[in-house]
């Protein structure tokens, strides 16, 4: 009897050690595979690996350092859980994910620093200053420097990704993010199920059903409003109105005019924050936002897209939509003149090769530059010096200036007509010695302060922009795009429940 008991204990111990070894091996192999996948973009490292007979494995002290960032992303613990041990072993061995599982990431964090983004274009490692979000704050958009001045020196959160059994309407994939004083976010995708860890079958990309969004700011938006209004030198109400005007102008530039309620909701959320719940459509370009006056060349909406329900602090917000602005008719050609050439003809607007040492002729023009590293940068040529060119691009609503070393340029192209030779840069004006602010012998570059010369007459520039992009109608502001006061934000006073 004693031998039987000891044998049973031995078998149980061997089974436990076998499970621990198999779990460690499978998790370590998966991490090594992930390390190989990201080795061209960053470095992935980790500490210990643990497992439990309850059906879960954990990885401790994860760290990922992306080459373009100065700060690493860290996580104290990552835990993958299933409802049964056989399902866990099957998933770890490369099989399909079970019908129910959960992934928890504890203390996912990244320190904020300036610069946070490395300059991957030029070898001088100059900072790339770009706004994180398109919120006006002082002389520009809210950026990392502004957040750090507000006391936000680290972004930290707990993350949970859960796959629930799709037995009823509550099933599907859910994501919960809790960032403490920065707020929280919940996403629910009913009917969505991931069957593999790598999403090889494209379940996420092909999903076109509803997505339920719940966002709570935890008072953070009030802090932003107070800080940015102070930096802008205006009252909070005026700052929110200016930010709403900018939001409306950006939509108008895309040929869309927001409704009064949409602008009012944007303004109130920026100023006061609160709880925002919405049912969005993942398969629609505007996430299910209703569209009016849709032109004929815009495809019809997906018939599977459901209603666009939005609740602010428990009350339903109605009349949220965008209206397509009428497109201006092309100007008729003058009698006796031929129409302007199009981009498809040999004399039309197109990217045409030019000499990089003559880049000063093309200030203000759109350019495309290929570098010896193999990268291609497109944008507006905003500065030229003896050693480098400066290309400005629009990123998340803000402008980013990329300095490009002339020695690294292998191809320089300008968006121009074939007969356009640019504008000859004027010689630097003679400066009296007693009033000169530059050291003697230093050449004056086109990017130095002083009078700015247009690279082309205004009429030619307007014609070229219209040829390439079309008239966006920005000169004439759409009716009803002024900032909306809080009194115009009309919602149902009684809380309402989301419609099924």
Measure the CA–CA gap between 161 and 372, rounded to whole angstroms. 42
Q: In the CATH scheme, what is the code of domain 350-421? A: 2.30.30.100
Contacts with 89 (C-beta within 8 Å, 6 or more apart), sequence order: 19, 22, 23, 26
Q: Are 26 and 38 a contacting pair, CB within 8 Å?
A: no
Instruction: Give me the pLDDT at residue 167, please.
Output: 67
Measure the CA–CA gap between 187 and 208, rounded to whole angstroms. 14
Query: What string of DSSP letters covers 431-482?
Result: --GGG--SPTTPPPPTTSSSPPPPSS-HHHHHHHHHHHH----TTSPPTT-S
Place of tokens 């290929």: 370
Packed helices 220-232 and 260-272: angle between N→C axes, nearest 10 degrees: 90
How far from chain centre, in Å, is Cα 371? Answer: 25
Residue ranges of the chain assigned to CATH 2.30.30.100: 350-421
289 φψ region: left (φ > 0), alpha (ψ -120 to 50), beta (else): beta
Instruction: Give me the pLDDT at residue 429, please.
Output: 53
Give the pair of three-digit tokens for residue 207: 């999903």
The radius of gyration computed from the CA coordinates of the chain, to the nearest angstrom, equals 29
Measure the CA–CA gap between 66 and 43, rounded to whole angstroms. 6
Give the pair of three-digit tokens for residue 85: 């041990």
Measure the CA–CA gap between 425 and 402, rounded to whole angstroms. 22
Instruction: Give me the pLDDT at residue 263, please.
Output: 93
Tell me, what DSSP letter sits at residue 207? -
The vertex-495 CA angle with 489 and 500, nearest 5°, equals 110
330 φψ region: left (φ > 0), alpha (ψ -120 to 50), beta (else): beta
For the stretch 384-387, contacts whose Cβ atoms lie closer than 8 Å and that sit 24 or more positions apart, written own/partner, are 384/359, 384/360, 384/445, 384/446, 384/447, 385/445, 385/446, 385/447, 386/443, 386/445
Q: What is the mean pLDDT of each run of 10 residues along the chain (500 residues)?
A: 71 76 88 90 92 90 91 95 87 85 95 77 39 72 88 93 77 91 92 74 72 92 94 93 90 87 93 93 80 67 60 92 75 42 55 87 88 79 86 69 82 86 67 45 41 42 44 40 46 44
Instruction: Give me the pLDDT at residue 168, please.
Output: 61
Q: Are 412 and 355 a contacting pair, CB within 8 Å?
A: yes
Q: Are 31 and 59 a contacting pair, CB within 8 Å?
A: yes
Contacts with 284 (C-beta within 8 Å, 6 or more apart), sequence order: 208, 301, 302, 305
């Amino acid at each position: 009897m004693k031998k039987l008991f000891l044998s049973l204990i031995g078998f149980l111990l061997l089974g436990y050690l076998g499970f621990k070894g198999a779990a460690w091996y499978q998790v370590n192999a998966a991490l090594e595979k992930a390390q190989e996948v990201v080795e061209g973009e960053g470095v992935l490292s980790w500490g210990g690996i643990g497992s439990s007979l309850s059906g879960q494995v954990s990885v401790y002290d994860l760290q990922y350092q992306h080459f373009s960032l100065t700060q690493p992303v860290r996580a104290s613990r990552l835990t993958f859980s299933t409802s049964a041990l056989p399902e866990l072993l099957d998933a770890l061995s490369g099989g399909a994910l079970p019908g129910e599982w959960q992934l928890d990431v504890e203390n996912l964090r990244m320190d904020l620093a300036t610069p946070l983004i490395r300059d991957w274009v030029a070898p001088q490692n100059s900072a790339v200053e770009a706004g994180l979000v398109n919120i006006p704050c002082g002389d520009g958009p809210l950026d990392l420097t502004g957040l750090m001045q507000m006391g936000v020196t680290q972004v930290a959160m707990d993350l949970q990704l859960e796959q629930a059994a799709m037995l009823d309407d509550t099933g599907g994939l859910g994501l919960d993010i809790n960032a403490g004083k920065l707020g929280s976010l919940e996403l629910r995708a009913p009917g969505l199920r991931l069957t593999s860890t790598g999403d090889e079958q494209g379940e996420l990309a092909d999903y076109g059903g509803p997505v339920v969004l719940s966002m709570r700011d935890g008072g953070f938006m009030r802090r932003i409003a107070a800080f940015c209004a102070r930096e802008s030198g205006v009252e909070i109400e005026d700052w929110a109105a200016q930010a709403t005007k900018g939001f409306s102008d950006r939509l108008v530039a895309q040929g869309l005019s927001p409704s009064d309620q949409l602008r009012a909701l944007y303004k109130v959320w920026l100023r006061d924050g609160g709880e925002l719940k919405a049912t969005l459509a993942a398969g629609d370009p505007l996430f299910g936002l209703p569209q009016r006056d849709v032109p004929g060349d815009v495809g019809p909406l997906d018939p599977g897209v459901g209603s666009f329900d939005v609740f602010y602090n428990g009350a339903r917000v109605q009349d949220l939509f965008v209206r397509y602005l009428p497109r201006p008719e092309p100007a008729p050609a003058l009698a006796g003149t031929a129409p302007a050439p199009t981009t498809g003809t040999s004399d039309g607007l197109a990217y045409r090769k030019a000499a990089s040492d003559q880049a000063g002729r093309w200030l203000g023009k759109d350019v495309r530059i290929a570098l010896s590293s193999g990268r291609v940068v497109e944008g507006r040529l905003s500065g030229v010096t003896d050693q480098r060119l400066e290309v400005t691009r629009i990123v998340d609503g803000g402008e980013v200036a990329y300095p490009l070393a002339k020695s690294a340029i292998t191809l320089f192209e300008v968006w121009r007509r074939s007969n356009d030779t640019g504008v000859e840069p004027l010689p630097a004006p003679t400066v009296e010695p007693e009033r000169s602010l530059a050291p003697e012998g230093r050449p004056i570059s086109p990017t130095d302060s002083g009078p700015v010369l247009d690279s082309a007459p205004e009429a030619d520039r307007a014609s070229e922009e219209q040829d390439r992009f079309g008239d966006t109608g920005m000169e004439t502001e759409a009716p009803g795009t002024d900032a909306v006061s809080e009194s115009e934000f009309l919602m149902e006073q009684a809380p309402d429940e989301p419609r099924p």
